[in-house]
Each structure stands twice: as structure tokens, then as C-alpha cells.
Amino acid sequence: MMKEIYFDNNATTRVADEVYEEMQPYFRNLYGNPSSMHTFGGQVGIRIREARERVARLLGCDPSEIIFTSCGTESDSTAIHGTLAATPQKRKVITTRVEHPAVLTVCRELESHGYTVVELGVDKLGRLDLNELEHQLDDDTVLVSIMAANNETGVIFPIEQIARMVTSRGVTFHTDAVQIVGKVPLNLSKSPINLLSLSGHKLHAPKGVGVLYVRKGTRIAPFMLGGHQEGGRRAGTENVPGIVALGKACELAARHMEDENTRVKALRDKLEKAILESCPDSRVNGEREHRLPNTTNISFEYVEGEAILLLLDRHGICASSGSACTSGSLEPSHVLRAMGVPFTAAHGSIRFSLSRYNTEQEVDFAIEKMPEIINRLRELSPFVQTGTGR
Ligand SMILES: *Cc1c(COP(=O)(O)O)cnc(C)c1O
């Protein structure tokens, strides 16, 4: 079995060894229910409290503002539905065209329930127009949901500034921060953000655990009703191993943040620069400056993203394509379309997303293989016009 080279960390990440170690006892030895009255269960409750403190420390908030959920998708859904349920008289929601489906699909569905949903557009570099946001905010607006960093391009939105603009109008602001948490420092104590979603498996904790941050005083109705867990805000017996793991992953993230923004970023930059130089008619999608340190999204004219992925896969290199063909549709990614990336380029886009586990040798190997793959595919392409595209 070939060792994989994993450049798909925005899809999911490897569970850190330290995280795996820490969660293991909670399956077989410390399996008590934290709600039980006995000491056996109680000691588990103590570890949940500790995990909550660790998450709060990474985010710069109070532990009481952390609600554990089952995933980023649940956190997003709860934030949106919970806010609307708490203020039913207001009927307008503002989001963006480049959100993850966990936000976009939920918002689009609201239209069939009589809500007005505004999807803000982005420019060629994937940036929002904050004047347009300001113009759309009105007395009927109940919620603005805008992601902190885009999963496909890594482009970072100025959420602090957006949060100030939105909350100063008395409107609730939610951000899907799944991609940014653990990669870029956040400090919620200095920000009026009301609601924030994160997901364990994007920061080296396992799948099946997430967090919804709810700022004190934010009006939100619970989504899951039942027992009194999570202060009655999210019923259901706690995913103890997952929660303990997420706490540990947050602690590690704080420790690795500098590495992420220096070594990992340098590896990403090396990969990106080499590919742009060795592959004609290639370009980076999205603003390069305000971007996650681990992500690059590159378009190759006249080739199919899926074909590139297949050839990369033969070398054990895992990446992801910007088009949604894999999900049964021939449409290119909604994010690249919103940015006005030409059809021919959007179809041939590849996202490389790195992590602290990547090495320079892995990057060098990909740098060697990419021009071979692109040249080979262009030889086969009926559209090949290499060198005339610019
Ligand atoms: C992965 C992801 C989600 C969904 O998180 P899950 O835990 O997989 O449900 C939501 N938003 C963004 C930006 C993501 O990258």
C-alpha cells in the first residue's frame, strides 16, 4: 500500500495522535453518563467541563458560551433556525453566494417559508462589497450569516468589521468559522459576533463533534429538545469521547498556530509558485493576501479537474476539485461561478489544502508530478490552445 500524500485538509483532517490518546478511555473505561448522580458518571462530567474551557480559551470567550453539537452542519442549522424562531416577526435573512451548503441550502429553503433571502455576491477575487451589505440591512432583517473563510478558495472575510456593522443595527450576526478555527487567531472577547460554528474534524479532532458559540445575551431558540444537557440548549447525551477530543484539539491548535502560519504557509506558497511557473495557463482563484495559510485553489485551462484528480490519485496524492461533477452535477463550483471564473478555467480547478502533517518532500513530489499531469491531459484535450490563452 502506497503512503498517501494528503492535501485535502479542508475536507477533513487526520485525528492528532495526542487527541486520539486522550479520547480513548471514554469508550471502555470511563463510559459513564455525565448526567448520572454517581461518582463514576460525575468524573466524566468534569472532563466535559475541562473540554469546554479549552475550546473557550482558543476562541477567547466564556465557557458558558460554548454548546457542543454533532458537527458544523448542526451548528449552522441551529444558528439559523434558532435565531429565526426567537424573533419570528422579522422575515429577512442576508447571506452570501459563496457559503458552504450547510448555510446556503438552509437559507434557500427559508424562501419557501416566506422569508426574503438576500445572497450577497463577490468580486473576481472572491471579496464581498460591504457597502452592499450595509445597504441591505433594514428593520425587517433578523439574521446575517457570513462565513469567516471560504472552504474552496481559503479567502478570508473581514468578519470583525462585518459583525460591528451588523450588530450595531440590532441584527444577529452568525459566522460559519469551520475553516478558520485553529488556522488563524480569533478573539471573541473583543468582537460582537453573536454566533459562531466550528467542526472537530476540520482541526484534527474526530468526525461527529462540533461547537456552536452563543454570545451571552443572544436570542436563540434551542434546536434539539429533550434532556437538560448543554444547559437545555442542546439536548441529547453528550458525545463524551468526541467532546474530550475536541477540547484537546483546540489546545493543540493554539500551540501549532504559529507553525500553521509560517511553515505550513511556506509549503503552500512553494507548491503554488512552482505550479504556476511550470504549468502554462494556470492561475490562483481568490484573493491571495487575505487567505487561509494552508489553502490554494488553482485553475488549469482546457483540462478537467476530475481528470487531474485521477492522475494525482495514481501517485497517492489526495486533493479536491472545484467542480461539483463528483456530486453528480456537471456544474462547476458555485463559489468559482460567483467569482465569475470563466467556465473553461472553473472546470479545471484543483484545491490543495495542507496541514501540520505535510512535509517538504511531499510538496516537492507534487511539484514534480503536476506539470507531467497537466501536459499529458492537454495532449489529450480537444480544446488545447496552450500558450494562446494569454
Ligand atoms: C466542513 C464544513 C462544514 C460542515 O461541517 P461538518 O462538521 O462536516 O458538518 C461547514 N462549513 C464549512 C465552511 C466547512 O468547511
- Per residue in 347-378, pLDDT tens? 999 999 999 999 999 999 999 999 999 999 99
Q: Which residues contact 300 (CB under 8 A, 6 or more apart)?
A: 279, 281, 282, 308, 345, 348, 349, 350, 374
Residues 244-249 have a mean pLDDT of 98
Strands 282-284 vs 295-300: parallel, antiparallel or unpaired: antiparallel
**390 falls in which pLDDT band (50, 70, 90)?**
very low
- How many CB atoms neighbour CB 114 within 10 A? 7
Identify whether the C-beta of residue 200 lies closer than 8 Å to the C-beta of residue 249.
yes
Identify whether the C-beta of residue 150 lies closer than 8 Å to the C-beta of residue 126.
yes
**Which pLDDT value is given to residue 380?**
84
Give the residues across from 195 on adjacent strands.
174, 214
CA of 146 to the centre of ligand 1 (A): 14
Residues 179-193 have a mean pLDDT of 96
- Whether 195 shows a pLDDT value over 70: the answer reads yes
How many angstroms separate the CA atoms of 266 and 34, rounded?
Answer: 43
**Which pLDDT value is given to residue 246?**
98
Query: Measured from the CA of 202, which atom of ligand 1 is nearest?
Result: 1
Cell of 378: 492537454
How many angstroms separate the CA atoms of 201 and 208, rounded?
Answer: 8
Three-state secondary structure call for residue 55:
helix
**Which pLDDT value is given to residue 323?**
55
Which residue has a Cα nearest atom 10 of ligand 1? Answer: 72
Backbone angles phi, psi at 140, to 5 degrees: -90, -10
**Which pLDDT value is given to residue 209?**
98
How many angstroms separate the CA atoms of 84 and 76, rounded?
Answer: 13
Tell me the pLDDT tens digit for each residue of 29-79.
999 999 999 999 999 999 999 999 999 999 999 999 999 999 999 999 999
Tell me the pLDDT tens digit for each residue of 89-100.
999 999 999 999
Residues 335-346 have a mean pLDDT of 93
The residue whose grid cell reads 459583525 is 163
**389 falls in which pLDDT band (50, 70, 90)?**
very low
Give the residues across from 149 on adjacent strands.
156
The residue whose grid cell reads 460559519 is 176
**340 falls in which pLDDT band (50, 70, 90)?**
very high
CA atoms within 13 A on the CB side of 202: 22
Name the residue of 176, 204, 239 whose CB sits within 8 Å of the most ligand 1 atoms, as the mutation to test its pocket: 176
DSSP conformation letters of 259-282: HIIIIIHHHHHHHHHHHHHHSTTE
The verdict on whether 318 is a catalytic residue reads no
**329 falls in which pLDDT band (50, 70, 90)?**
low
The DSSP 8-state label assigned to residue 98 in this structure reads: T
- Alpha carbon 278 to its chain's center: 30
- Whether 326 shows a pLDDT value over 70: the answer reads no
Lowest mean pLDDT among 104-108, 252-256, 386-390: 386-390
Name the residue of 151, 155, 320 whose CB sits within 8 Å of the most ligand 1 atoms, as the mutation to test its pocket: 151
CA of 41 to the centre of ligand 1 (A): 31
This prediction's pTM: 0.95
CA of 76 to the centre of ligand 1 (A): 9
Tell me the pLDDT tens digit for each residue of 122-156.
999 999 999 999 999 999 999 999 999 999 999 99
Identify whether the C-beta of residue 293 lies closer than 8 Å to the C-beta of residue 268.
yes
- The overall average pLDDT reported for the chain is 94
Residues 273-300 have a mean pLDDT of 97
Q: Which of 16, 381, 378 is nearest to 182 (CA)?
A: 16
Which residue has a Cα nearest atom 3 of ligand 1? Answer: 72
**Which pLDDT value is given to residue 328?**
54
**383 falls in which pLDDT band (50, 70, 90)?**
low
**Residue 265 Cβ contacting ligand 1 at under 6 Å:** no
How many angstroms separate the CA atoms of 150 and 181, rounded?
Answer: 12
Q: Which residues contact 131 (CB under 8 A, 6 or more apart)?
A: none
Lowest mean pLDDT among 50-64, 103-117, 128-142, 326-340: 326-340
- Whether 1 shows a pLDDT value over 70: the answer reads no
Q: Which of 378, 390, 374, 149 is nearest to 279 (CA)?
A: 374
Identify whether the C-beta of residue 197 lies closer than 8 Å to the C-beta of residue 244.
no
**Which pLDDT value is given to residue 29?**
96
Cell of 249: 484539539
